[in-house]
Chain A
Amino acid sequence: MWRRKFRTFLTIFGIVIGIFAFTVMGSMALKLNRMIDGGKQYITGQISVSPKGSSYESVGGTLPVNTLNEISQVEGVKAVGATVSLTVEEQDLDNASFSMGPVPTIYGSDNQSEFKNRNWETMGMKEGKMLDKNSPDNEIAVGINIATDKKLGVGDTFNIRGRDFKVVGIVDKTMTGPDDYVFMNIAPAREMLIASNPFMKSLYDKGGLKLEDVNSMAGVSWKDGADSEVVSQKIKDQFGDQVSVMSPVKMGEMIDKASATMNSIILGSALLALIVGLFSIVNTMVMSISERTKEIGIKKALGASPRSIAWEYTLEAGVIGLLGGAIGLGLGVLAATILNNQMASKGGEIFLLEPNFLIGVVVFSFVIGIIAGVIPAIRASKLKVVDAIREL
């Protein structure tokens, strides 16, 4: 009896680990997918133009205002909106820290431009208002994670890189990039970007760089009825030697491919843990049934039908799966919540706990138990009574 209990405990523990891994990794995948979806929506809502040689949203050069003006003249282009982005905290490579999840980012945009991302025309606001054409340079709107982390409300002052800004709006939770953004006018963002880069700074001080030429990226919107791909191609044809052009469709495909690979890695490793758990239930049930051969024999002698025997032991395996699943899920949710709370102060949550997913996990663990139990249970139901009773 004791041995059996201990073994059942070990099996449940195995399932707990499997389901724990599945819950945590699944929630991480969900969160990443949500972020990627948000990013995808954004990136497929505009043609993104960046300086040649730089990667997305990193500072590798600047887009001169003349180039942007010329791009706005390309056939099919509706408007061009320049943006400057840089991290909220000054980067200190001497004390670099690795952080998972998004980094708080300053997003300076040219609010005078007519440009609007087709998929994100306006941002929902939790409090206050978004910046507009008339916003002065010292006003900012912040994403929900920044507001929570720095305990900011509308009217508060937020010091970024030595400058004081007044918070006029807090953006609703988007579950993606903007949650960690500080929205401001492009001018102060440009100044901060120059200040952060000694090379740009000396060039600027000597008059070799104009403020308006400092643009880390630009979004291009197309006219209604124009084909985004055709417009992208035209920009590429004319300015391909100066800028990189990312067309919505191509970027969308690229993102899909990347997220599919990532999902299969994450879910694959979690599934592996589950398969180990599955075999451990099979093992336990086989052992448990061979240990209870006599008990099964008695039940059959008393007139138990093969079906009721099979059902009984299958259900037992299901319950083992369910129990392990419930505990594993609980631990997984607990771990994800604790990590989320800790991460929130370092740049955002990395787990998304979706009710549907969690319910699915519990059901799944029960089904796994049933699957693992069904073969040993059918074997049990076919035991010959005479042999079974003789044993022991």
Chain B
Amino acid sequence: MGKTVAKATGIKKSYRMSKRNVVHALQGVDIEVKEGDFSAIVGPSGCGKSTLMHILGLLDRPDEGHLEIGGVDMSRLKEKKAYRMRAKKIGFIFQGFNLIPTLTAYENVLLAGKYGGQTISERKVRAKELLELLGLKDRMHHKPNELSGGQQQRVAIARALMNDPALILADEPTGELDSKTSLEIMDILKKLNREQNKTFLIVTHNMDVANACKKIIRLKDGKNAK
């Protein structure tokens, strides 16, 4: 087994929706992600999957518990510093692709490199390589609305890979795709895991997607389910 990429223990998080309505999204979740993992987090909607992903992705702070990424304690990390870790250590793939509509595929990928601190020439080379790797060589200079859903998601994957992150978090990566395209995307992710030893953590409620993963982590009511 590889070394630990992310380790969370006893993570608790609640949201106060109104005075009397406090949602306990996570009530003590433990999770460990090792290098080369290809795991799915599954569970019914409202079980805290997305919240856990946001916390692992440093987009949100846990109320309680301990979080380590790449061996560094992140539990008390302030937002002012979180962005740097996010840029370098974490890649995101979202359900809705979340590409910036005014930029071309190429520019969307370049942007991630910029935030990751790459030089302009580094960025250009790497963005081209990644887009070629993902079969988007001739669609590079198109804007998102000129691309199919599958192509958009491949751009998002290229963007997530741009800074060679330790952990790639995918939130329902096939949620908006038809089953054939979903399979294609899953194949790409699996291939990246197999050939480049990329570490993936995929949040899904689609059991086909989960079954394609090496490991399944189940959540229920904000806790690890047996």
The reply to whether B111 and A299 form a contact with Cβ atoms under 8 Å apart is: yes
The number of chain A residues with a CB under 8 A from chain B is 16
Main secondary structure of the interface of A (DSSP, over half): helix
- How far, in angstroms, from A305 to B85 measured CA to CA in the complex? 11
The reply to whether A301 and B59 form a contact with Cβ atoms under 8 Å apart is: yes
Contacts A1-B101, A294-B98, A389-B98 given; indicate if A302 touches B92 (C-beta within 8 A): yes
The reply on A386 being an interface residue by CB < 8 A is: yes
Look across to chain B and name the residue whose beta carbon is closest to the beta carbon of A305: B83
The reply on B122 being an interface residue by CB < 8 A is: no
Most chain A CB atoms below 10 A, which of B57, B83, B111, B163 = B83
The reply on A102 being an interface residue by CB < 8 A is: no
Look across to chain B and name the residue whose beta carbon is closest to the beta carbon of A296: B100
Look across to chain A and name the residue whose beta carbon is closest to the beta carbon of B96: A392
Q: Which of A333-350 contact B (CB under 8 A)?
A: none
Chain B residues within 8 Å of A303, by CB: 83-84, 86-88, 112, 115-116, 163
Chain A residues within 8 Å of B12, by CB: none
Q: Which of A354-389 contact B (CB under 8 A)?
A: 385-386, 389
The reply to whether B112 and A306 form a contact with Cβ atoms under 8 Å apart is: no
The reply on B94 being an interface residue by CB < 8 A is: yes
The reply on B54 being an interface residue by CB < 8 A is: yes
Q: List 5 A-B contacts (CB under 8 A).
A: A294-B98, A302-B92, A302-B159, A304-B83, A306-B79
- How far, in angstroms, from A305 to B83 measured CA to CA in the complex? 6
The reply on A31 being an interface residue by CB < 8 A is: no
- How far, in angstroms, from A297 to B52 measured CA to CA in the complex? 18
The reply to whether B84 and A299 form a contact with Cβ atoms under 8 Å apart is: no
CB distance from A5 to the nearest CB of B (A): 11
The reply on A116 being an interface residue by CB < 8 A is: no
Chain A residues within 8 Å of B79, by CB: 306
Chain A residues within 8 Å of B73, by CB: none
The reply to whether A301 and B116 form a contact with Cβ atoms under 8 Å apart is: no
- How far, in angstroms, from A386 to B163 measured CA to CA in the complex? 21
Question: Which A residues are within 8 Å of any B CB, using their own CB?
Answer: 1, 294-295, 298-306, 308, 385-386, 389
**Which of A300, A302, A305 contacts B112 (CB under 8 A)?**
A302
The reply on B80 being an interface residue by CB < 8 A is: yes
Chain B residues within 8 Å of A389, by CB: 59, 94, 98
Question: Which B residues are within 8 Å of any A CB, using their own CB?
Answer: 54, 57, 59-60, 79-80, 83-84, 86-88, 92, 94, 98-102, 111-112, 115-116, 159, 163
Contacts A302-B111, A303-B88 given; indicate if A386 touches B59 (C-beta within 8 A): yes
Known: A1-B102, A301-B57, A304-B87. 20 other contacts (CB 8 A): A298-B99, A298-B100, A301-B59, A301-B86, A302-B86, A302-B111, A302-B112, A302-B115, A303-B84, A303-B86, A303-B87, A303-B115, A304-B83, A304-B115, A305-B83, A305-B84, A306-B83, A308-B115, A385-B60, A389-B94
Chain A residues within 8 Å of B84, by CB: 303, 305
**Which of B57, B88, B100, B101 contacts A299 (CB under 8 A)?**
B100
- How far, in angstroms, from A294 to B57 measured CA to CA in the complex? 17
Chain A residues within 8 Å of B115, by CB: 299, 302-305, 308
**Which of A295, A300, A306, A385 contacts B80 (CB under 8 A)?**
A306
The reply to whether B60 and A386 form a contact with Cβ atoms under 8 Å apart is: yes
Chain B residues within 8 Å of A306, by CB: 79-80, 83
- How far, in angstroms, from A385 to B83 measured CA to CA in the complex? 10
CB distance from B95 to the nearest CB of A (A): 10
CB distance from B110 to the nearest CB of A (A): 11
Look across to chain A and name the residue whose beta carbon is closest to the beta carbon of B92: A301
Chain B residues within 8 Å of A301, by CB: 57, 59, 86, 92, 98
- How far, in angstroms, from A300 to B84 measured CA to CA in the complex? 10
- How far, in angstroms, from A294 to B100 measured CA to CA in the complex? 9
- How far, in angstroms, from A389 to B172 measured CA to CA in the complex? 14
**Which of B59, B100, B112 contacts A385 (CB under 8 A)?**
B59
